[in-house]
Amino acid sequence: MSHRAFITRWLIPVAMATLLLGTSVHAQDGVSPRQILIGQTLTLQGGKNEYGVAVLEGVKTYLDQVNRQGGVLGREVVVTVLDDDNKSSQAETNAHQLVSQGKAFLLFGSIEGGPSTAVMKAALELNVPFFGPMAGSPTLRTPHQPSVFPVRAEHKAEFRALLAHARSLGVQRVAFFRSDSETGQQHLDNVTRLSQELGLNLVADLPFKSDVSDAGIDALVAQMARSQAQMVFNHGGIGVYEKLIQKARAQGLKTSFYGVNSGSTQLANRLKDLAHGMIFAQVMPSPWERKTAVTRAYQDAFSKAYPGKPFSYGSLEGYVTARALVEALKLAGPKPTRASFVAGLRNASLNIEGLRVSYSDKAHTGLSLVDLAIVTREGTFRH
C-alpha cells in the first residue's frame, strides 16, 4: 500500500461523514516507521460544500504525488478526514477523536473561521500542533500561539487590500457586512482601525445572524441606503451576502460590493450578471493562469489527478497548504515528534515554488500574499 496515498470511502453519512485517506498502521503519537498519521476536520457537508471538497482534492493531489515518490523521509503521509458540517462543536469533537482515537500526529487543514477556531481550542487542550487552518479568523493569530501555524494570509490583510483599492478609486464612505458573533466583532475592530489608518469613513456596521430572515436583510439594506455607503464588503456569510446584494440592486442602489476570498467563486456563480465588476481579495494566485511556478505545478498535477476537472481557488489552496505541510514535516527530522515539529518551524521560512511561508517567535504570519481579482462579464476572475 506504500504507493497508494489515499483510499477514499464514505464511512458514516451526513454530519459525521468520514473519509479515510490511506491505510494506517498502529503508531505511537501518530508516527510509525512507515507512516505519519495526520488528522483533518473540515467542512464537507456530505459532499455538498464545493469549497471543502475542492480543498480536499487539492490536498489529495499533492500528497498522492509525495507518497508515490517515497513520502517524507521514507514515511507515507496518511490523512484521516472527518466532516465537521460547518459546525464548531462538531469540529472540536472531531479534533479530539482524531487525536485521542485516531492517534493523529497533528491536526491539519480545517476551513471556515468558527470550525478552525474550535479545532485550535482542541489542539491546545491536547498539546498537539495545528497546521494549515484555511481560514482568516483573527483568533488563529491573536494572541500568538506557538503551536498553531496558518499558511494563508488572514482576513485583516484582505480588508486592508480592499479598503486601499476603494480609496484609490475615490471612495470615502464604506460599510462592513459581518457575522454577529465574537469573531465578527474582532473583524469589526480591525476594520475600524484600518479605516482610520486609510482615512476612510466607516459609515455602517451591518451585523447578521446565520438565520437572519428576509425582513432582517431588508432592514440591513435600508441601513446601508441611509448610510450612503459607496462600498460594502464582507467577511463571510455568502448566502446572506448574496441576498443583500440582490435586494440592494432590486432597490436601485448603486453601491459597489467587494468581498474576501471565502466562497468568492460560489458567490459569483450564484449572482450571475450581478457579480460583474465585483472586486474580491484572493489569498492564492489565479488558479487559471500559468504566470507563477506554483500554479504551473498545481495545474500539471491536478490535471493528471482529476482529468477534465476545472481549476479552482479551493483546490489550489489545498494543494499549496499540503505542500507547506510536507516541508514542515521535513523540518521535524528523521525521528519526528510533536516537539521537533514545532521546533523545526521556529523562525522558519518555507519555500513553496517561490511563495514564502514565514513563522517567527512573535508571529506566525504564513503567506503575505493578497491579490485582487475582478469578476468579468463572463463570470470569471481576472487578477
Task: Give residue 14's pLDDT.
Answer: 31
Per-residue pLDDT of 217-271, as tens digits, reads 999 999 999 999 999 999 888 889 999 999 999 999 999 999 999 889 889 999 9
CB 132 within 8 Å of CB 108: yes
The three cell numbers of residue 69 are 515518490
Taking residues 295-303, what's their average pLDDT? 98
Task: Give residue 50's pLDDT.
Answer: 87
Helix (H) or strand (E) holding 257: strand 256-259
Strand pairing category for 256-259 and 201-208? unpaired
The CATH superfamily of 155-282 is Response regulator (3.40.50.2300)
Per-residue pLDDT of 43-78, as tens digits, reads 999 998 888 999 999 999 999 999 999 999 999 999
Residue 332 and residue 74: Cα distance in Å, rounded?
13
- For residue 375, the Cα-to-chain-centroid distance in whole angstroms is 20
Across the chain, what does the average pLDDT equal?
92
When mean pLDDT is compared across 194-208, 258-272, 323-337, the lowest value belongs to 258-272
CB 232 within 8 Å of CB 203: no
The three cell numbers of residue 49 are 460544500
14-152+290-358: CATH topology: Rossmann fold (3.40.50)
Residue 176, SS3 per DSSP: strand
Per-residue pLDDT of 99-111, as tens digits, reads 999 899 999 999 9
Domain 14-152+290-358 matches domain 155-282 at the CATH topology level: yes
Beta bridge partners of 131: 108, 149
Other Cβ atoms less than 10 A from the Cβ of 215: the count is 7
Domain residue spans of the chain = 14-152+290-358, 155-282
Strand pairing category for 381-382 and 349-352? unpaired
Residue 73 and residue 37: Cα distance in Å, rounded?
14
Task: Give residue 48's pLDDT.
Answer: 87
How large a percentage of the chain has pLDDT more than 90? 85
